[in-house]
Amino acid sequence: MPLTGGLSRQVVFTCTKRTILVFLHIQLIGYMRKVCTLAEVIIKDVEKVYPGGFQAVKGINLDIHDSEFIVLVGPSGCGKSTTLRMVAGLEEISGGSIYIGDRVVNDVPPKDRDIAMVFQNYALYPHMSVYKNMAFGLKLRGMNKKDIDERVRWASSILGLDTLLERKPKALSGGQRQRVAVGRAIVRQPAAFLFDEPLSNLDAKLRVETRAELKRLHHKLQTTTIYVTHDQEEAMTLGDRVVVMSEGLIQQVDAPLTVYERPVNRFVAGFLGTPPMNFIEGALEGNGGDVFFKGGGVSVKLSTAQAEQVAGHVGQKATMGLRPEGLFLHANEHANDEACTAELEVNVIEPLGDTMDMFLDTSEGDRLVARVKAEHIDLGSKVKMYVDISKVHIFEPGTYGKNISLVGAEEAVTA
């Protein structure tokens, strides 16, 4: 029975091959976890006052867990790069302590902090090949040739650089250069990676691709990562937790979706989300057992839970925040006459494919954006919009007005 014998040999061979591959894969992951020191980074009461007296960081606290991917996000000048550079040791701290692993690194020079940093501008050596760029830091540390070779080939296979090792940086695309910069960081097998806007120089498509690669890489290596960006989409897609900063202070630290759905104040609510959350100034009014937000020609009846939460603020000024996806053109299970409807004038429509952004005016001239399912609507027409009350937030007045409608707000993390 040559046919059967051949088949069974083939089955045995296929099974063996698969077993070996699975075994090698497990070994590789184990090796990578073993060689990369895992570490916690703790930032305790850290301040930065630049010469001249400007206080860029105002006493922040942050516990970054072992193997966590944490993203510092905030508008330009909020102090995120300064914070990262203090962790790296590139900027002296003016107060507080930074721990990497179990040691305070306040006075430890950058090269001895067991971290590797990737910058926006790659900072590759132009006269060296990809191989040499990745090997250089290890050579400086006195590692022997064989170990260097092993590390460089390990990193290049993870990053898909095997065929580019002999090329010089000028013969690489922006994305490939950035991968070499990441390779140079991972060959070090440090306790933590620090990324400072590493994707800013790439075009939109490459940014999205490289972002996914970084996420895959972190999943493989599980190295503690601190990543700085001003791009809220990057922050939401990459971070295990997102740290929203403004004016040298941490505003909120939470999982991306929690920050989006349960912003602790108006600043955080307005910073995350595209299009951003709509805000209307007004006041809270009681009527029987119900509480209404009234302002800008819109009246919204809060849910029972929200009404209980804001009870102490009835009769006071407040700001209502409403996500664009919380407005609907037609009544549905989330939004109906019960909660609120508003008559709004259609100003501009931006078609996005299956959805569209509608720019609307209230009767008192407040402007709102609604992201709804695409359909034909005449510009200038008046439409009845339905509000999903679960997408409504009530803030105290002011840029950093506290979110007073968060049910279970005691659990929210603020700094």
Q: Which stretch binds ligand ATP (CB under 6 A): 69-77, 184-192, 200-208, 217-225?
A: 69-77
Number of residues that bind ligand ATP (CB under 6 A): 13
Helices 174-186 & 130-140 angle (0-180, nearest 10) = 20
Shortest distance, position 77 Cβ to ligand ATP, whole Å: 4
Amino acid letter for position 404: I
- Footprint of ligand ATP on 30-59 (CB under 6 A): 50, 52, 54, 56
Q: Which of 211, 230, 266, 371 binds ligand ATP (CB under 6 A)?
A: 230
Minimum CB distance to ligand ATP smaller for 79 or for 89:
79
The residue among 328, 320, 324, 321 whose CA lies nearest residue 292 is: 320
Contacts by 267-272 with C-beta closer than 8 Å and gap 24+? 267/399, 267/400, 268/244, 269/321, 269/393, 269/395, 269/403, 270/321, 271/73, 271/74, 271/75, 271/232, 271/244, 271/246, 272/232, 272/235, 272/236, 272/242, 272/244
Minimum CB distance to ligand ATP smaller for 80 or for 151:
80
Per-residue binder mask for ligand ATP (CB under 6 A), 364-403, x = binder? ----------------------------------------
Q: Which of 2, 5, 76, 353 binds ligand ATP (CB under 6 A)?
A: 76
Minimum CB distance to ligand ATP smaller for 50 or for 125:
50
Minimum CB distance to ligand ATP smaller for 240 or for 247:
247
Instruction: State the Cα–Cα distance between residues 60 and 228, nearest whole angstrom.
Output: 16
Could you say whether residue 1 binds ligand ATP (CB under 6 A)?
Answer: no
Instruction: State the Cα–Cα distance between residues 268 and 414, nearest whole angstrom.
Output: 11
Place of tokens 């940086």: 169
Shortest distance, position 84 Cβ to ligand ATP, whole Å: 8
The residue among 396, 388, 368 whose CA lies nearest residue 303 is: 388
Minimum CB distance to ligand ATP smaller for 67 or for 82:
82
Could you say whether residue 81 binds ligand ATP (CB under 6 A)?
Answer: yes
Helix runs in 253-336, H state only: 256-261, 266-271, 304-309
Could you say whether residue 289 binds ligand ATP (CB under 6 A)?
Answer: no
Shortest distance, position 230 Cβ to ligand ATP, whole Å: 5
DSSP E strands: which ranges in 33-163? 41-49, 55-64, 69-73, 95-100, 103-104, 115-118
What does the block give as tokens for 280? 């209307």
Instruction: State the Cα–Cα distance between residues 172 and 364, nearest whole angstrom.
Output: 56
Could you say whether residue 124 binds ligand ATP (CB under 6 A)?
Answer: no
Instruction: State the Cα–Cα distance between residues 198 and 206, nearest whole angstrom.
Output: 12
What does the block give as tokens for 414? 């603020």
Minimum CB distance to ligand ATP smaller for 74 or for 324:
74
Shortest distance, position 48 Cβ to ligand ATP, whole Å: 8
Minimum CB distance to ligand ATP smaller for 80 or for 371:
80
Name the residues that contact ligand ATP, by CB under 6 A.
50, 52, 54, 56, 74, 76-82, 230
